[in-house]
Amino acid sequence: MTRTEATRTGLDLAPDARVGIIAGGGSLPVEIARALARQGKSPFVVMTAGEVDRISDFDDYEQVTLRLEDVGSLLPTLKKHHVTHLVTAGHITRRPRLSAMRLNLGLLAWVPSLLVGVTQGDDTVLKLFVRRIERSGIKVVGAHEIVPELVAAEGVLTKAAPRKSDWRDIDAAHAAAKAIGALDIGQAAVAVGGRAIALEGVEGTDGLLERTRQLRGHGRLAGRTRGVLVKCAKPGQELRADLPSIGPQTVEAAHAAGLAGIAVEAGRSLILEGPTVVARANALGLFVVGLPAAEPAHGK
């Protein structure tokens, strides 16, 4: 089972600590806000314009909406609202358009990160982002530290367990996901019949699974059933910024793609809406398994 026993955050927050959330799409930022509110630590939410899809779920919290292009005003805004800890959560599908940026002093501080980010991939940008924020005295924390109950546990989490042939698929997809992760291209791969057949690029996991669904009719997969999705952190990944995650829609899409199950790395992945994930996987006969992680759970 996912670790539902945890009710407190994994952080020891001082009485005057205030957590800011940079919120993107999906349910993770909502779950983080709720976990903080439950402990009497109402968060300050920075809604990323055009990315947050569960807008009304943030109605109870103090908030501001920020365009990606206005990243220059992020630090002054956080300071004004006495934010001491910052967590980024949810997917940001857009990238800032340089042409839409207003030049100001706040933005200038980000220019080195932006220039590097243009050619070196998201993970580099995220690491620079963390460094830049922390230089201002705000501590950047990971979603897994605030909602440790979402962190994937090790072992089989569902009624169904991988068969021997599924473990071959898991190994093949895991190796592929690690290889493309090392190149900072994607986090996920699908294997069928003991071979990786589809790799995640910029289209994301939903796109990868939709493609897998369409590939089922492909001649080279003739007669092949089952298969798995493996999603894992990149080697050396900044865990405070972009932890791999799955949720109920991942289970639905994996099932639609004809897969037998999903594997993630324990301690280095999040399972959003864990009880729903497990219930849907059980109803559909899919397995969800947490693999032993090759690296420790905390970012460098």
| 118 part of the interface to a copy of itself, by CB under 8 A | yes
Closest CA to 95 of 65, 50, 142: 50
**Residue of the chain from 186, 244, 247, 248 that contacts a copy of itself (CB under 8 A):** 186
Tokens of 281: 């996987």
Regarding 56 and contact with a copy of itself (CB under 8 A), the answer is: no
| Shortest distance in whole angstroms from residue 180 CB to a copy of itself | 7
Segment contacting a copy of itself by CB under 8 A, of 16-24, 210-218, 250-258, 278-286 = 210-218
Instruction: Choose which of 182, 225, 275, 283 interacts with a copy of itself (CB under 8 A).
Output: 182
Q: Measured between alpha carbons, how far is 25 from 207 in angstroms, rounded to an integer?
A: 16
Touching a copy of itself, residues 188-207 (CB under 8 A): 190, 193-199, 201-203, 207
Q: How far is the CB of 175 from a copy of itself (least distance, A)?
A: 6
Q: Which of these, 254, 270, 296, lies nearest to 28 by C-alpha position?
A: 270
- Scanning residues 87 to 116, which ones bind a copy of itself (CB under 8 A)? 93-95, 97-99
Nearer to a copy of itself, 10 or 121 (CB): 121
Among 221, 256, 284, 293, binds a copy of itself (CB under 8 A): 221
- Cβ–Cβ under 8 Å, residues 230 and 264: yes
Q: What is d(CA 211, CA 193) in angstroms, rounded to the nearest whole number?
A: 17
104 vs 127: CA distance, rounded Å: 23
Q: Which is nearer to a copy of itself, 69 or 284 (CB)?
A: 69
Q: Which of 15, 40, 137, 219 binds a copy of itself (CB under 8 A)?
A: 219
Query: Quick one: 43 or 186, whose CB is closer to a copy of itself?
Result: 186
- Report in angstroms how near the CB of residue 219 gets to a copy of itself at its nearest: 3
Interaction site with a copy of itself (CB under 8 A): 93-95, 97-99, 118-121, 168, 175-176, 179-180, 182-186, 190, 193-199, 201-203, 207, 211, 215, 218-223
